[in-house]
A and B are shown apart, each in its own frame.
Chain A
Amino acid sequence: MINRSLVETASDTSRHKIRIWDLPTRLFHWLLVIAFIVAMLSQGDDRYLDVHVVSGYLFFGLLGFRFIWGIIGTHYVRFSHFAFDWKAVWHYLKMLPTKQRQHFLGHNPAGSWAIFIILGLGLIVSLTGLLTLGGEERHGPFAGMISFALGSSIHEWHEVTAWLLLGLISIHIVGVLVESWLHHENLIKAMITGLKSVPVSVFAQPLSVQRHGFTATILILVIIVIGTWVYSKPFIGPKLPDNVVWREACGECHLAYHPTLLPARSWQRMLAEQHEHFEEDLDLDDETLLEIQTFLMANAAESELTEPAWKINNSTPPEQTPLRITKTAYWIEQHQNIADEIWQHPDVNFQGNCGACHLDAEQGTFEDAAMRLPSSSVPF
């Protein structure tokens, strides 16, 4: 079977073009390239986390398609067609520098190994990404199922495997260029048009055009549906506990800062000092005080209900009892790069005016993707 796709470099001169890569595979290939590039460009900066996650879902979905298509797809893209053993790879590489080098219609043995590794590694990158998303951001299918600590160590694996994947993709690209040069055939163009030019004497498996056109349409539709669903859904943030008495009493002069933003001992101290609340006398009666206290204690940063809660709690040494969110190490670190002009913007007024920049300040979720410059709809 493998031999059949070998193009004997005979003295044949008359050549014709035949279709090797079906439309779904070509679409898959280039969409995967786009998804990977977008994911790489949007990584590392939380402000683009939404873009990163959507490209990640796209990447994952495409891989899923490829695994199915590797079984039911057309002749040259089926896994069984390019499942070479390592001896074949070695033989291929050994012959490559010589005149007797082998020429394949479909994937060559070395290329096919690169493809299998890229697909497998891609799967690992996708899964570690989903686990990171569930642990650190409380989003996606694993939302809330794993701890922040586990999420952040998986995050490291996500990064390591992603860079490895980039390395393999580089090898794959080098391989494609080398082969294109050695065999005088433009493999990149072949992946765009699906066509390869071969001597007429070579037998090529005909591809069923109807079937792949139909599959391509399904593929595109599924991607559009998943893409819009994912994009509109994950960044609303989890619904956090709420309390009417608290929201009313603590939301009169400023935003009702969600309890997750300070440790329990801070809230305890703030309520104990309620008659000197930043020069204001809160003057809460005992009943109100108790209700607010219960709510604040139950949902303080220690609850780890959100990523900021976890980070604020972790970055505040136990001997410190900050009364200001804006004095916690985590808050300072997150906001140190904001220009003075922005702080002086009339809509901002003071640092504790979180809602001027965070669209979800009232809900308390402080999602990465919900940040906006004051008086502008442009994301930071």
Chain B
Amino acid sequence: MKKSLILAAIALLPLSTPPIYAANPVDELLAKYRLQGADAFSAEAGKILWHQGFTQTGKIRKCTTCHTNDLHKTGKHARTGKAIKPMAPSVNPERLTKLKKIRKWLKRNCKWTLGRECTPQEKGNILIYLQSQ
């Protein structure tokens, strides 16, 4: 009886102190999106969205407008010309390592590109796609 209580406590420990175990912010975000009702995520769907064009104020906007078609290359902010470091974590290990940063940019960039915030499903798909690069 006592033994099983201790085991149960150990099993619950990760839940009570998430920072120690939530090593990967992407996984953490994906878990959140799932809670918000997203299904299984697909890198393929993420890739399609990444290259999809949306017409805003008469012009076509894509994620690649700033990040370029090649995730391994340095991008350029379409409006200000500022250089954007490569998006692929394989060449830029700093990518997708900060939860707040990912959340902030997904919100901003979706709003500007799609004209609305992305759904949890779309966000998850994009992250899976980017992570695989």
Residues of A within 8 A of B (CB): 253-255, 278-283, 347-350, 352-353, 356
Q: Is the CB of A283 within 8 A of B104?
A: yes
Q: Is the CB of B81 within 8 A of A279?
A: no
Residues of B within 8 A of A (CB): 76-77, 79-82, 104, 107-108, 111-112
Q: Is the CB of B80 within 8 A of A279?
A: no
Provide a sorted-by-A list of 8 A–B residue pairs whose CB atoms are within 8 angstroms: A253-B80, A254-B81, A278-B79, A279-B112, A282-B108, A283-B107, A349-B80, A352-B80
- A254's contact among B77, B104, B108, by CB below 8 Å, is which? B77
Q: Is the CB of A350 within 8 A of B79?
A: yes
Chain B residues lying within 8 Å of A350, measured Cβ to Cβ, are: 79-81
Question: In the complex, what residue of chain B is closest to A275 when comparing beta carbons?
Answer: B111
Closest Cβ of chain B to A343, distance in Å, is 12
Bound state CA distance, A100 and B59, in angstroms?
91
Closest Cβ of chain B to A246, distance in Å, is 16
Q: Is the CB of B108 within 8 A of A281?
A: yes
Bound state CA distance, A279 and B78, in angstroms?
13
Closest Cβ of chain A to B65, distance in Å, is 13
Q: Is the CB of A280 within 8 A of B80?
A: no
Question: In the complex, what residue of chain A is closest to B81 when comparing beta carbons?
Answer: A349
Bound state CA distance, A280 and B109, in angstroms?
8
Top 3 nearest A-B pairs (CB, nearest first) are A349-B81, A254-B80, A353-B81
Q: Is the CB of B82 within 8 A of A255?
A: yes
Chain B residues lying within 8 Å of A281, measured Cβ to Cβ, are: 107-108, 111
The verdict on A280 contacting B112 (CB below 8 Å), with A348-B81, A350-B81, A356-B81 known, is yes
Closest Cβ of chain B to A204, distance in Å, is 71
Bound state CA distance, A51 and B79, in angstroms?
36
Which residue, of B82, B107, B108, B112, has the highest number of chain A Cβ atoms within 10 A?
Answer: B82
Closest Cβ of chain B to A89, distance in Å, is 66
Question: In the complex, what residue of chain A is closest to B79 when comparing beta carbons?
Answer: A350
Chain A residues lying within 8 Å of B107, measured Cβ to Cβ, are: 281, 283
